[in-house]
Structure 1
Amino acid sequence: MPASAGDSRLPARREFTLNRLLPASRPVVFRAFVEPECMKQWWAPRGFHVLSCALDLREGGAWRMRIRSDETGAIQTEVGTCREISHYVPHLRDGTTEERS
C-alpha cells in the first residue's frame, strides 16, 4: 500500500543544495532557468526529452514540465511552486518546491 502524506513512517523533510560553476554569464544562466524554451534544451536527464514546459515566474507561481523516456516512452510530469524568485539574481534568493508524479 502506498504511503500517505500523513504517514508517520515517512522520513522527515530534507533539504539539499546543489552547486555548479558554469562557464556562462549570470544573464545567460538566469534565462536558462526561467525561459521555458531554454529549459527544454537542458532540463531533462540523459535518455529523456522535454515534451512541454510552463512557468509562472512569480512568488507563489507554479511550474510544470512533462518529460518522456526515449527508451520506454514513459511520460513523467514534474510540478513545483516558486517560493522566492530571486536566486538567480546576485542580490536576491530563490527557492522552489518540486513534486513528481
Structure 2
Amino acid sequence: MAEIKFKSDVPDKATEILTEALETESLRLEYSLRLAKERLSRFEKKYNVSSEKFINEWTAEDLEGKDLEYVEWAGEYHLSMRLNERLDVLKSIHHVST
C-alpha cells in the first residue's frame, strides 16, 4: 500500500478538513452511482438483459430507440463504472497517524 504525505502548519485541522472532504465526496459518488444504477435498471427491465451483456453483445439496431437509446445506455454503463472506480479508490484511503 502506497503512503501519501501532506504537510501543514495546522495538521489537526488539515486532517479534519481532508477527512470531511473524502467523506463528502464518497457520499456524492454513492448518490450518483445509485442514480446511474436506477437508470441502468430501466434499460435492463425494458430489454430483459443485463448491462454487461448489452455492452458486450448488443448493437444500436437491437434497441427500439436505436442510436439514441444505445448511446444513453452505454453512457450510463460507462459512467457507473467510473463512479464505482472512484468510490473504491476513496474508500481505500485511510488516515494513519505518525
Do the structures match in fold with TM over 0.5?
no
Q: Which has the higher helix share?
A: 2
Structure 1 or 2, whichever has the larger Rg, is 2
Structure with the higher strand share, 1 or 2: 1
The alignment's TM-score, normalised by the length of structure 2, stands at 0.26
TM-score normalised to the size of structure 1?
A: 0.26
